[in-house]
Amino acid sequence: MAFKFESLQVWQKALDLGEDVNQLTKSFPKDELYVLTPQIKRAADSVVLNIAEGCTGQSNAVFKVFLNYSLRSGIEVVSCLFIAKKRKIINEDNFVKLYNEYQSLTKMITALRNTL
C-alpha cells in the first residue's frame, strides 16, 4: 500500500460506509436532489477524506485535529439519517443498519484519536 491511511481499518470502514451512503441516496426522492442527498454524501465522504488527510505526513497533534473533523462528519451523517427517517425517505431497517455502523465507526475514530 502506497499511503499510510490505506492500512488503517478505520479508513477502510469509513470508505465502505461512504459507499453504502452513496447507494442509499440513489433511492432518495427527486425533491431531495439538491438538499439532503448532497449533504449526507458530502458528510460521508468527509469522514474518509479527513482520516486520509490527517494521517499523511502530519504530526500526531495535527492528525488528532483531522480525526475530530472526521468524527463530526460522522455525527453529521447520523443526523442526516434521522432527517431521512423523519421525512420517510428511508425505512427503519436502513436507518438502524447505518446508525449502528456509524456508531461503531465513531467509536473507532475516537479510540484512534485517544491513542495519539
- Whole-model pTM? 0.96
Decide: 12 and 55 in contact? Cβ < 8 Å.
Answer: no
For residues 68 and 90, give the distance between their C-alpha atoms in angstroms, rounded to a whole number.
Answer: 28
Q: Where are the domains of the chain?
A: 8-115
Q: For residue range 44-82, what is the model confidence (pLDDT) as tens digits?
A: 999 999 999 999 877 999 999 999 999 999 999 999 999
Nearest of 74, 24, 83 to residue 49 by alpha carbon: 74
Tell me the CATH class for 8-115: mainly alpha
For residues 37 and 27, give the distance between their C-alpha atoms in angstroms, rounded to a whole number.
Answer: 10
